[in-house]
Amino acid sequence: MSSLNPLLKTLPASVALRLDQGLSQLGIAVDEHQREQLLGLLALLHKWNRAYNLTAVREVDDMVSRHVLDSAAVLPYVQGPRLLDVGAGPGLPGIVLAILAPQLDVTLLDSNGKKVRFQRQAVMELGLENVTPVQARVEQFEAAAFDQVISRAFASLVDFVTLTRQLPSADGQWLAMKGPGADDELRDLPAGIRLHQRHLLEVPFEAAQRQLLILNFES
């Protein structure tokens, strides 16, 4: 019996079905352990959210698409191996990506103590040895040379790259998960940084348009 079994029993059956359907639509294959880890993350997030207000999404069925599948949709563009998730909140997208791609070395960065406490609890309960939660403001974070820096937390693309400019390696990338638009923000990018690729994301069960902007240093 899986050590996650008691946690998984707290979820309605609809959650696993929705997760399975969504991953299938994204073309992502998982083994049983990864599936249990994703469901365990959902169970923990739903449980903690009632007390600590980690996310505005209240219903666990909605968390499947808004959090797990939204995070999983960028998997084809994540290369790592060193990945930094800035403004990770409760560990999104970083924990989801660490589960789906165990070869990644994921650092979760957030300044909010209760969210980092949740990250640490999730890492422990899910048995994730490739995830390191860090509580710090991005301006004060001194680690460097990440292969990719990802975020879905920044409203401003310019703020994202400006505050994290010292963190990617020389040939590293920024991955900005955004809603529609962003053309004006792209025109305002700081000197020396350019748009490398733009990908529209189809997130199962979500009508809202999502896109991934991949930025890098100009050569």
Going by the annotation, the residues of the binding site are: 87, 92, 138-139, 152
Contact 53, 17 (CB under 8 A): no
Extract the tokens encoding 139: 């301006």
Cα torsion through 110, 111, 114, 117, rounded to 10: 50
Q: Indicate the annotated binding residues for S-adenosyl-L-methionine.
A: 87, 92, 138-139, 152
**Read out DSSP for 12-34?**
-HHHHHHHHHHHHHHT----HHH
* Cβ-Cβ contacts under 8 Å for 35 (sequence gap 6 or more): 16, 19, 20
